[in-house]
Amino acid sequence: MTEPKPQNDDQPVSEKKRDSSRSEQPNSGRLLLYVLVGLALLTGLYSIIFGPSRIETMPYSEFIAKIEKGKLDTTNVYKLKIGPTYITFQDTKDPESGEKLEVEPKKTRVPVANMGDDVQKELTGLLKEKGIVPDWPEEPVEWQTYLFLAILTAPFILLVVLMLRRMGGPGSALAFGRSRGKVYAQDDIDVTFDDVAGIDEAVEELKEVVEFLSKPGKYQALGGRIPKGVLLVGPPGTGKTLLAKAVAGEAGVPFISLSGSDFVEMYVGVGAARVRDMFQQAAQRSPCIIFIDELDALGKTRSGGAPGSHDEREQTLNALLVEMDGFGSDQSVIVMAATNRPETLDPALMRPGRFDRNVLVDRPDIRGREKILKVHCKKIKIDDSVEVARLAKLTPGFVGADLANLVNEAALLAARRDRKAVTMHDFEEGFERVVAGLEKQSRVFDEEEKTRTAYHECGHALVACSLPHTDPVHKISVIPRGMALGYTMHRPDSERYNKTQTELTNSICCLLGGIGAERVIFDETSVGAQNDLQRATDIARRMVTEFGMSPLLGTVHYSERRSSPFLGSTTASEPAHSEETIREIDLEVRRIIDECLATVLQILRDRKVVLEQMTKELLEVEVMDADHLKRILDEHHPGARIVPGTFADKASGNANAGEVGSGAETEAKSS
C-alpha cells in the first residue's frame, strides 16, 4: 500500500482552511487577554476622572465643628446632601480666606454610622440655626457610578457569551454529544485510485462502490439497493484508510473520518449521541461517506449485560446499528470501516443490510511490493544501481507501511554517510536494520562466546542447505543486532501460500540447527537457543493440534486457542480435552522435536568438516553472503547433496517456493 501524492504539507486541505480561519479570529485565551487589558484601562480612566483625587473624607465631628464655626458656605443649599449612610457637600469659598473659589471645588464625604432620629433632629437644628437648608435624597448615588458599573459588566457579559459559543463547538467541554469526525469537502480530497498500488483486487472491488455514489440512479432504476456499509479487513499497514479516501476522491463526495475510540466516553449516552450527530451531519451532505477506523473499538460483540459488560460501548453500538439500518436510515450515506480484528465484531453489525461488503486488503505479493517501492522511491534520490525488483524479492510479507519505513531508513543511512543518492547497499542495510535491529559494532565479546555464536549460526545455515524444501540462506552474521548476538537470514525465491508436512518438519530442523551445532562441537547447549526452541515447539504443536499431522492422534483439530487471522495473537478458551489427550499431544510434540533433532545431529556430524570451515571463515569476515557460502560448500563437500542459494532438491528434482507472509526470517542467537 502506498501513501497519497506528496504535498507541501501533510495537513488536509480542510484543516488548513480551518486553521486559516482560526488565525483570522483571536482564540479564547487572546480574547480574555484583550478583555482584561480593556478593563484595566477603564479602571484607570475612572480613577483619574472620578477617583479619590476629586473626593475628600471628613470625620463627622470635624463637620459639625465646621458648621458651628460658620465656615460652611451657604450660598448654594443644594451642595449639601444628607443620605442614610453619609453626608456630602462642596464648599464654594476658601475656608482660610473666605473668598469664593473660581474652580470647581472638591467634594467632601462625611461617613455617618447611624443616621437615627436623634442625629437628624440635632443636625437639622444646627443647620437651620446657620441658615443652611440641606437636600434629603433617598440614596445619593452619582450617575458616574451607574455608568462605570455598566461599562465594567458589559465586557464580562460579552466574554461569557463568546466562551459559551466556543464551548458549543466540536470537542469542547459542553459538546459531549457532537461528533468528533473531521469533515473533508469534495475539493479537499485529492487522493484517487491512481495513488494506490499493490492491492489491485481491493481497488477493483471498491470501484463498484464509486459507481453507487456517482451514478445511484443506474442501480435504483432496476430496483437495486445501494450497499449500506463496506468493511475493509486486513493486517495493519496495508492501506485501508488510504483506500477509503481514494473512494471518496473518485466519487467526488464529502468524507467524514473518525476513529472508533472517538465515540466512547466515561459518561453513558455520549457515544450514542455522537453517532446520531455524525449521521445527521452526513445526511446534510449526502451523498456522503463515513469512515470509521479501528471499528473493533466500537463494534465488539455485546455481552448481554453479563458482569464485566460495558454499557456505554453497547449503547453506542446499538445507536450505530439503528442508524445503519433503521426506520430513518439514509440510503445516500455509505459507511466504510476498517479493522484488523474482524473476529471480535458483533454479528448484528456484520449482517447484510449493514456491512454488505467485506473487502480483504491483504499483504501485497512480489509485483505489488515492486509497485509500492517504485511509488515511495519517487520521493527520494536513488542511485542507478538500485534494483527495485530485487528489493521486492527481498521483502516477502512486508506491507505498505513496512516498505515505506524501509525506503525511509535507506534514505537516512545515505544521508548519514553524506551520499548524493541512496544506493542498493543502503537499502540492504536498511532492510537488515528493520528486520534484525540496529547493528552493535561497539560491543566487546569474549572470544569463546563469539566462537560459539559462529558455530550456532553456521549450524542453522548448513542444515538449511542440506535439506530440501527450505528457504535459501541469504546471509550469516556474527555482528550483534538488536537482542541477537548473531543471525542467519533466509530469503525465499518466490511467494508461497501453503506448506506441506515435510516442509514444516524441515523448518523445525533449520531452527534446531544451532542447538545441534553446539552439541556436536561443545557437547552442551547455551541459553541463546531459547527463541529457536520456542518457534520450533510452536510449529510442532500446531502440526499436532491444528493441522492433523500426527499418526497417533489422527486428523482431528485439538487446538484450544483462537487466533486472529491478521494479528497473529491467540486467546485461550476453556479446556475441551481430557488429561490423557493433552498428555498424548505433549508426547507427540516431543516426538517430532526429537526426530528433527536426531536428523540435525546426523547432518552436522557427517559434515563436521564443512561446519568448522564455515565457522572459521565466518569469524574472519564476520558477515558471509550466499556466494561465499556456496564457494565453501563446493570446495569442501562437492559430492554431498547440499543445495545453497536455491529452494530446489537436486536429487529429486522438486522445486518449491518459500512461504508468503513469513518475512525475511532470522535465526538469531540472543542472550
Which residues are marked as active site? 457
Closest CA to 359 of 337, 376, 326: 337
Report the alpha-carbon distance of residue 168 to residue 52 in Å, rounded: 43
Place of cell 511509488: 375
In the sheet that 333-339 helps form, which strands lie side by side, from edge to edge? 182-184, 255-259, 288-293, 333-339, 229-233, 357-360
Report the alpha-carbon distance of residue 486 to residue 478 in Å, rounded: 4
Burial category of 277 from C-beta neighbours within 10 Å (exposed 0-12, middle 13-18, buried 19 and up): middle
The widest CA-to-CA distance across the chain, in whole angstroms, is 144
Closest CA to 232 of 342, 395, 75: 342
Amino acid sitting at position 591 = R
Report the alpha-carbon distance of residue 123 to residue 81 in Å, rounded: 12
Report the alpha-carbon distance of residue 346 to residue 296 in Å, rounded: 9
H helices present in 530-578, as ranges: 530-545
Report the alpha-carbon distance of residue 80 to residue 663 in Å, rounded: 100
H helices present in 546-656, as ranges: 579-606, 608-621, 626-636
Q: What share of the chain is helix, strand, coil (3-state, %, to 5)?
A: 50, 10, 40
Cα first-last separation, the chain = 36
CA–centroid distance for 417 within its chain: 32
Report the alpha-carbon distance of residue 455 to residue 518 in Å, rounded: 7
Strand pairing report for 86-90 and 107-111: antiparallel
Question: Sign of the C-alpha dihedral, residues 92, 97, 98, 102?
Answer: negative
In the beta sheet, which residues pair with residue 27?
none
Do 611 and 459 contact (CB within 8 A), yes or no?
yes
Strand pairing report for 55-57 and 288-293: unpaired
